[in-house]
Amino acid sequence: MQIIDSPGKRQTQQERFEKTRTLIYPDSGQACRELAAEVAVLIREREGSGERAVLGLATGSTPVPFYRELIRLHREEGLSFAKVVTFNLDEYYGLGPDHPESYARFMRDQLFDHIDIPAENINIPNGTVPLDRVYESCLAYEAKIQAAGGIDLQILGIGRTGHIGFNEPGSSRDSLTRMITLDRVTRLDAAPDFLGVQNVPRYAVTMGVGTILAARRLVLMAWGDNKAEIVRQAVEDAVTDQVSASFLQEHAGATFLVDAAAASRLTRRRLPWLTGSVNWDDAMERRSVLWLAKKLGKPVLKLVDEEYNENGAGELLTAAGRAYQVNIRVFNRLQHTITGWPGGKPDADDANRPERAQPFPKRVLILSPEPHDAIVGMGGTLERLVEQGHEVRLATQTSGNLRVSDVAAYKFASLVLEMAEGFGGSEWEGQEAYAKGILRQMEEKGEFGADPENVRKLKGLVLRGEARDAAKLFGIEHDALRFLDLPFYEKGRYRRFRLGDEDIEITRAMADEFRPHQIYVTGNVADPSSLDALCFQAFQTAVAQLDEAGADWLADCRFWLYRGKERPMEAHEISMAVPMSPDQLASKNEAMRKFQSINPEEIQTTERNREIAREYDALGMAEYEAIEAFQRWKRRGAA
Ligand code: F6R
């Protein structure tokens, strides 16, 4: 079995920086299908010899596609879980098993309710034992694992703090099941699930690092760009209690199972010339020169031959000439990514510009997963596109109502009620009943309950209003602002969304009617279960269908990716850099402030734009206040 039976530390030259065995798959779907097939073999083998398979399970978005595949194997291929025993890693402290965000509930929804596992074989740490009995209950959990014969295979995800289970930085190698305090980053990551960071529990009960490492085999899964840096640290850097997942380096049966995006920071992917021979094309040359400049803290034009040689990039010089020539080439290419004309500069020579001059003006479509995303991701560019006379359409893909705080909905319903009571009269009766209905429903759902449809609608309208105000600052009004309200979002919660045909159809119809020359979109490298990734998938599928149907405008359309919540682009990934003046940055900040119903802690700041500008400056480009970065995306089969 390729994934779960790791054959010691046998490594290729490419993998030589990796201290834990790491398998890279093109996408999470394929990785999960193969892992599930191997788990099925394990379960059947055990069953055949009259034994039970003991699985350690994780929650969170990462294992969801794996659980879906197990369910499919159960339904379609008769895989039985009657002889399987499971131990979950962790549970939020204070949440009962019926709480919608408890891990007990998560496991029922995502797996246990759909397979034939006996209830008595399921073990999940108890999040509701009184404080003075937590210790005892943790000891009992450890004892139960021992009594079951230990864990055969432990499934893990990884948090951005490097945690496995909820073993936040500082957890020791030998820690056992216990109660811990959740890290700030972990709580922020969980904020959308809990409809706001203030609702995320502060404590959790988790298996310890020692408990986890006692499993016979371990598979840690990670998907999406957000996990790329922490995966690299866990796999390539020294073992440290600041990154719990790094302890897997000490376990001979541990494997990291990652998709291409989560692998993107591993040396073999990021700096491939350090792990073997590469094809020195333009992209590779640029990547290695910019890396070297950054590493040495020098502008590109000051790099010298010895520095290339001493840092493992000597081969580039053999292939491409002296440092002087290589530096100039890369400098020029980077210079050419900078443009104040994101829609192309009319009547200018566009041979060295990221976007073509003609046609002018262009029809520009900007897709925003939730209403605030495009403003945060590319507000400055949006403003320029409008100012430069393009026909800009801003389409928000989902209503974003799950982001809106209860306080905002409460405020608006109360206002309507007060108006109705203040003005009185029969014409206000409807409004009064509506407002009272909303306030009652909010009261009834309690702090963590899901919003009923009416409340979600109201929250969506609040956010819509804010989006209108923000867009108006940039001159986008009326027909230029579209709210697609994709149905998959209305029917779901974070991490549990599922795209349907209708979502694709709506996206497709809107694009086809507008016939854009440019489309800006985000989410291509996000965690595949995230909202951004699903919105990107809807876009990508819509484009593929339009292509198949022969939509002629596609041949004259360019696609630009901006970054939402994922890691910011690195200089070598950028194909268009749009600088911002201090005034433009201020106006973007003003637009972002319009989103008052969203917790500001959960919205990215413009600091990211300043960072990119600093990076360009350090590489020897002009010094700008801030920069918004874009990467060109090509549809399959396009030139
Ligand atoms: C969950 C768990 C955590 C998660 C980690 C990643 O049981 O133990 O370590 O695996 O927080 O979460 P996701 O998968 O949501 O990115």
Task: Report CA(59)–ligand 1 centroid distance (Å).
Answer: 6
346 half-sphere exposure, CB direction, 13 A CA radius:
8
Half-sphere exposure of 560 (CA within 13 A, CB side): 29
∠280-284-285 over CA atoms, to 5°? 75
Task: Compute φ and ψ for 621, nearest 5 degrees.
Answer: -85, 180
According to the model, what pLDDT value does residue 227 have?
A: 95
- Atom index in ligand 1 nearest the CA of residue 206 equals 8
In the reported structure, the alpha carbon of residue 23 is separated from the centroid of ligand 1 by a whole-number distance in angstroms of 19
- Give the pLDDT confidence of 500-525 residue by residue, as tens digits: 999 999 999 999 999 999 999 999 98
**Ranges of residues in the chain whose predicted pLDDT is under 70:** 6-10, 447-448, 639
Q: Whose CA is nearest to atom 12 of ligand 1?
A: 60
Please give all residues whose beta carbon lies within 6 A of any atom in ligand 1, as ranges. Answer: 58-62, 89-90, 157-159, 163-166
| CA 57 to ligand 1: nearest atom | 7
Q: How far apart are CA 169 and CA 194, in angstroms?
A: 23
Paired with 631 in beta bridges are 561
Pocket test for ligand 1, best of 28, 89, 93, 257 (most atoms within 8 A of CB): 89
Q: What are 553's two structure tokens?
A: 């405008």
Task: Tell me how far apart the 2 most distant CA atoms of the chain are, in Å.
Answer: 86
Averaged confidence pLDDT in the chain: 94
CB 87, CB 57: distance < 8 Å: yes
How many angstroms separate the alpha carbon of residue 165 from the centre of ligand 1?
7
Distance in Å, CA 206 to ligand 1 centroid: 11
Closest protein CA for atom 4 of ligand 1 = 157
Helices (H), 494-576: 501-514, 531-548
User: Which residue, 375, 495, 475, is CA-closest to 101?
Assistant: 495
Ligand 1 mean position, distance from CA 60 (Å): 5
Best substitution site from 62, 175, 244 to test ligand 1's pocket, by max atoms within 8 Å of Cβ?
Answer: 62
Q: Which pLDDT value is given to residue 9?
A: 56
Q: Which of 32, 55, 57, 59 to mutate to test the pocket of ligand 1 (most atoms within 8 A of CB)?
A: 59
- The rounded Å distance from CA 162 to ligand 1 centre is 10
From ligand 1's centre to the CA of 166, what distance in Å?
8
Nearest CA to ligand 1 atom 11: 159
Contacts of residues 555-558 at CB distance under 8 Å and 24 or more positions apart, as own/partner, are 556/359, 556/517, 557/516, 557/517, 557/518, 557/519, 558/355, 558/356, 558/517, 558/518, 558/519, 558/632
Nearest CA to ligand 1 atom 2: 165
Please name the residue whose Cα sits nearest to atom 15 of ligand 1.
60
Residue nearest to atom 10 of ligand 1 (CA): 157
Which residues have a catalytic role annotated?
Answer: 168
Q: Is the pTM of this model over 0.85?
A: yes
Is the sign of the CA dihedral 209, 211, 214, 215 positive or negative?
A: negative
Which are the contacts of 553, defined by CB distance < 8 A and separation ≥ 6?
512, 515, 516, 517
